[in-house]
Structure 1
Amino acid sequence: MVQVTEKVNTTKKIKKGIKKPKERKITWNNIKKQKCLIAMSLPFVIWVIIFKYLPLAGWTMAFQDYKPQKGFFDQTWVGFKHFITLFKEDQFYQALQNTLGMSILGLVFGTIASITFALLLNEIRSSKFKRTAQTISYLPHFISWVVAASLVTNMLSSSGIVNEILMKLNLIDTPIQFMSTPSMFWGVVTASDVWKEMGWNAIIYLAAMTAIDPELYNAAKVDGAGRFRQMFSITLPSIKSTVLVLLIMSIGNLINIGFEKQMLLGNPIVASKSLVIDKYALDYGIGMFRYSFGTAIGIFKSVVGIVLIFLANKMSKKFNDGEGSLLS
């Protein structure tokens, strides 16, 4: 038995030794065949390394009492002092709550609105009307948030068009103070974001729908399925993997919502609901020359984003049997 085991092990080692040179040869041949593609992608790889990975060296600032006038080796190392300070501040938790609240609302309503809009556009038979509606829907995406926020503020003001319509329909007696009611601020930001990005996000879902085999619809018609039945039984299941991939990417950016919308739509009255992580880092980090503190906030955001991506990826595997996963 010992001799047989030794022979088997020897055979395995010989096979491994033969296999490695073959694999290396195949890999080298593939590189030769795709050298043009590799050369084309090389500038983008270099760009990512320079602008995405090299700046990570700046994370060391979070563990120092950083002073711009001192050199790197002259800085005072303080360990996790700034992280401890961060987790002790009440405003940090308020900013985190606002960030997650607006992000989740935007993700849920934005995804539902984009998929619904794409489904409706997909059912339109007139190609001319379809192209016109699609073009009009994604034009707001190209408007800067400065202009978009100005439009939203004017529409929702006391004398704006929204209050005028509601009063003419006798739904309200006095104008609603949309922009100065803290409890409404999240809804205003979410609605503005959905209006601005719905048409643009629907393009990806529409592209996925064009790849569905038309024979499936023909077979469903023969079986007597109507338009709505075809939507729920063919269209939605066919784009499930696309929806999951986009959701994973969006969940990873839940905490990275920026601060433009909140800063432009906010005011001192709704300041408690408009403070988000990025605005908090700007005001209480860089704005107060606390560079190490601001860097600590950035590291926290990055770590949370990575954790969210892995969690979303695991959930997508469970719900989709391994399909639609970015990290599988």
Structure 2
Amino acid sequence: MKNEERTMNRKPFSGIQKRRLYLSLCAIPFVVFYLTFSYAPLAGWLLAFLNFKPGIPLDKTPFVGLGNFDIIRQDWSNTIRVIRNTLAMNAFLIICAPLPAVFAIFLNEMRSKRYKKFVQTVTTLPNFISWVIIFSISYVFFSSEGLLNALLALLGMENSSSNIMGNGDAVWYFQTALGVWKTLGWNAIIYLAAISGVDNELYDAVYVDGGGRFRKIWHVTVPGIMPTFVVLLILQLSSILTTGIDQYLVFRNPLVADAIETIDLYVYRLGIQNNDISYATAVGMIQTLISIMLLFAVNRFSKKINGQSII
């Protein structure tokens, strides 16, 4: 009788429980993906403590301890140079971080839906263009023999001609402009989604109070997308030492090599081109640890300032 009563008292899965189970099962492939490609490769950090050479088994590879990290200290001038380049270019990108939000607001205020879709499509397409093609386009326009200098020559302004792609003093600004142009429309999609989630009654309340379009933007739209902006800014600040490699690899040339070489490009050059995998692993290991500490520090600072965080 007791077993029958227990069976009778058991409730079947409710709709919410089934939904949670379904979402948990959907998350399994992504968890496996990150465990395989993000966490399993961390075992390669062992190479930072070895004098690894390709083709030699690990059990026969000499153990050097912190020797590779000591090389970083000895090669301090190059280390400072690549850190300076990385921080400078990421700082410019952080300064430009509000641009996608501003662009999304202006795009949302457009009256014509056709023109709005046209502008959104045109500004989003560059995100899907590879940096190799962007380099080719930039070479056509901005090289010493490019279209810009040809137009200046036609206007009798040969003295004003220059090679922007070979100007080490302008490389940070030029690469920042290219990065903003490539990702502006794509990043604006996130803010457009945030704007669509703002309660329309808030706009009606501003209208009833006599507020115009600018007041609606300032008092409703901007506060509505601010949490999204804070989260994206935290992620961007935490990855300030990571700039990617594809953009700067294709634009690197002897004239701008010292100013464009970031930490990621430096690690690639050491590990792949110079075949010094152990030293490159040590540099990448320090970069990852510092990025993790920055993530927690910025997240904690944001939580204290405005109560918003991602961890």
TM-score when scaled to structure 2?
0.87
Q: Which amino acid aligns with 1:153?
A: Y
CA 1:216–1:169 in 2, change beyond 3 Å: closer, same or farther?
farther
Residue 122 in 1 paired to residue 114 in 2?
no
Pick aligned residue for 2:225 from 222, 239, 263: 239
SS in structure 1 of the partner of residue 240 of structure 2: coil
Q: Which stretch of the first structure deviates more once superposed, 262-271 or 31-40?
A: 31-40
Pick aligned residue for 1:66 from 43, 49, 52: 52
- Aligned pairs for 1:1-328 within 5 A: 34-89=20-75, 90-109=77-96, 111-158=97-144, 160-163=146-149, 174-320=160-306, 322-323=307-308, 325-327=309-311
Match of 1:7 in 2: none
Deviation, 1:166, is 7.1
Deviation, 1:240, is 0.8
SS in structure 2 of the partner of residue 182 of structure 1: coil
Deviation, 1:223, is 2.1
Q: Which stretch of the first structure deviates more once superposed, 225-234 or 122-131?
A: 225-234
Deviation, 1:266, is 2.7
Q: Which stretch of the first structure deviates more once superposed, 200-209 or 153-162?
A: 153-162
Cα deviation code 1:112-140 (max 9, x no counterpart): 22111111101112112111110111000
Distance 1:246 1:168 in 2: 45
Deviation, 1:32, is 7.2
Distance 2:202 2:153 in 1: 48
TM-score when scaled to structure 1?
0.83
8 Å Cα contact 1:64-1:77 kept in structure 2: yes
Distance 1:94 1:238 in 2: 40
Q: Which stretch of the first structure deviates more once superposed, 209-218 or 31-40?
A: 31-40
Cα deviation code 1:90-132 (max 9, x no counterpart): 11211111111111112221x2221111111011121121111
Distance 1:127 1:216 in 2: 22
8 Å Cα contact 2:152-2:160 kept in structure 1: no
Cα deviation code 1:184-221 (max 9, x no counterpart): 00011000010010000000001101111112112212
Q: Which amino acid aligns with 1:265?
A: F
CA 1:170–1:31 in 2, change beyond 3 Å: closer, same or farther?
farther
Q: Which stretches in structure 2 are left out of the alignment for 5+ residues? A: 1-12
Distance 2:185 2:174 in 1: 18
SS in structure 2 of the partner of residue 67 of structure 1: coil
Task: Report how many aligned residue pairs link the two structures.
Answer: 298
**Percent identity (aligned):** 36
